[in-house]
Amino acid sequence: MKGVFKENKELQFLKEEFSNFLKNKKQPSAEKPENV
């Protein structure tokens, strides 16, 4: 379960980073970037 918990924390971090990226770029959240 520790591995799963770690992955969940990393996913949450990526979600926050992605949200900040969208805010900075001022793109609609529905639009997905081609390069990840």
pLDDT at 26: 72
Tokens of 35: 């390069």
pLDDT at 13: 93
| pLDDT tens for each residue of 1-36 | 577 778 889 999 999 999 998 888 875 555 666 665
Q: Please answer whether residues 12 and 4 qualify as being in contact, where contact means their C-beta atoms are separated by less than 8 angstroms.
A: no
* Amino acid at residue number 32: K
Extents of the domains making up the chain: 1-29
Question: How many C-beta atoms lie closer than 10 Å to residue 18's C-beta?
Answer: 14
pLDDT at 16: 95
DSSP 8-state symbol, 27:
-
pLDDT at 12: 92
Instruction: Give the whole-angstrom CA distance, residue 36 versus residue 27.
Output: 15
pLDDT at 15: 94
pLDDT at 30: 57
Q: Which of 21, 18, 13, 20 is nearest to 5 (CA)?
A: 13
